[in-house]
């Protein structure tokens, strides 16, 4: 093998590893925007109008359902938003979107809580 072939192989491996890291991250960020729209669509923006995961349609898919569909990143995005404090939980387990915390993070301006 000459040096050009080795360089191409190394470049392909590096590109594959970068894609392996950045594509799922981008998908979760995209799903987070969808999750925020779902909360706003159900008007779950304070503790009085909070909704359950089932009402929001954000329950993770079962094993057989996952086999037949493409991967859904919304449950991961919901967990990330909860860890960031953007989505909060009431005492009875219902969820709501904290618009104040969302504005503080600047998520919709391109700044991500996944630093």
pLDDT of 43-64, one tens digit each? 998 889 999 988 898 877 677 6
Q: C-alpha angle with apex 13: 11 to 14, nearest 5 degrees?
A: 65
Instruction: List b or e across 83-92, with b for residues whose CB sees 16 or more CB atoms inside 10 angstroms.
Output: ebebbbeeee
pTM value is 0.75
Domains and CATH numbers, the chain: 26-109 (1.10.10)
**What pLDDT, on a 0 to 100 scale, did the predictor assign at position 111?**
43
Cβ count within 10 A of residue 39: 26
Q: Rounded to whole angstroms, how far apart are CA atoms 38 and 115?
A: 23
Mean pLDDT by 10 residues, the chain (115 residues): 89 91 89 92 90 86 68 88 92 91 73 46
**What pLDDT, on a 0 to 100 scale, did the predictor assign at position 104?**
84
């Amino acid at each position: 093998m000459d040096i050009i072939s080795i360089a191409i192989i190394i470049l392909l491996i590096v590109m594959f590893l970068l894609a392996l890291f950045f594509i799922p991250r981008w998908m979760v960020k995209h799903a987070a925007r969808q999750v925020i729209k779902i909360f706003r669509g159900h008007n779950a923006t304070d503790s009085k109008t909070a909704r359950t995961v089932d009402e929001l349609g954000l329950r993770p898919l079962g094993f057989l359902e996952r086999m037949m569909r493409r991967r859904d990143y919304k449950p991961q995005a919901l967990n990330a938003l909860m860890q960031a404090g953007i989505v909060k939980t009431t005492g009875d387990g219902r969820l709501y979107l904290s618009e104040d915390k969302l504005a503080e993070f600047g998520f919709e301006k391109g700044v991500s809580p996944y630093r």
